[in-house]
Amino acid sequence: MENRLDMEKAGIEFNTFTTVARCERTGMFGVAVATASPCVGSRLPVIRPGLGAVVIQAVSQPRLEMLGMRLLQLGHPAPGVLKELENSDSFIEYRQIAVIDADGCVAVMTGKKNRPWAGHLEGKGYVVMGNGLQGEKVIRAMINAFEAAADDPFEERLLRSIEAGRDAGGQPQGQTSALLLTYDRQPFSRLDLRVDVHEEPVGELRRIYDWFSPLIPYYNMRALDPKIPSYREWLRQQGISR
């Protein structure tokens, strides 16, 4: 009973696997997430273009994410932000936290009270992490897929990573929701796709992404120029049928 009460005080619990990254080529920030809980996109992450990304999972805590972003705004590097978050939270061992700053420096931790299997791996400008997984093979598959897709569009790399995590076993109870979110230089998202409740959310996210991806530049242009034609006409002009 005491552990359950601790979890309730710490925040909302959910088992998750995630890739969060800064693209070396473009400077974009993004995250792809899959989880056994519904509506993961409503709980994480926090990304600000030109500043960085903060993701807190296993037991989420929006206030900590807001604090992390504020620290990035004040110029703290990712390791310093993570240290401040650890010092600010009495439930830190229940959480997984990843921080990436504007220079692509990463900092990540997996608390000792995460549900097994839990862990993380990091590379240049990116982190893969997960909890409540089938094993370490899940995040190893994710990092391999992300690195193998280095020449692909940023969103494609992120999505392939969580697809690989799913295919390596994902979570014992399966997944329910998924998110693919990226930011470029504008203050609004470049891409924000969510599957909130689905028997196979990563597969559904792939279906939506494949349909929508030709329109990514269109909606970013239309936000700045409302005179461009409707999306159907614009797709026709590009030789794309929908």
What is the number of domains present in the chain?
Answer: 1
CB-based contacts of 37: which residues, under 8 Å, 6+ apart? 12, 14, 15, 16, 176, 177
Residue 220 forms part of a structural domain: no
pLDDT of residue 14: 58
Residue 182 forms part of a structural domain: yes
The three-state secondary structure class of 113 is: coil
Share of the chain above pLDDT 90, in %: 88
Residue 20 forms part of a structural domain: yes
Residue 240 forms part of a structural domain: no
For residue 183, name the pLDDT band (cuts at 50, 70, 90): very high
CB-based contacts of 12: which residues, under 8 Å, 6+ apart? 37, 43, 59, 60
- The pTM for the full model equals 0.92
Domain that holds residue 153: 2-214
Q: Rounded distance, CA 223 to CA 105, Å?
A: 31
Nearest CA to 194 out of 68, 49, 50, 45 is that of: 45
Residue 64 forms part of a structural domain: yes
Residue 90 forms part of a structural domain: yes
pLDDT of residue 45: 87
**Distances from the Cα of 63 to the Cα of 27, 34, 101, 211, 229, angstroms:** 26, 22, 18, 35, 41
Q: Rounded distance, CA 58 to CA 95, Å?
A: 5
CB-based contacts of 42: which residues, under 8 Å, 6+ apart? none
Neighbours of 171 (CB within 10 A): 24
Residue 219 forms part of a structural domain: no
Residue 14 forms part of a structural domain: yes
CATH number of the domain encompassing residue 80? 3.60.20.10
pLDDT > 90? residue 190: yes
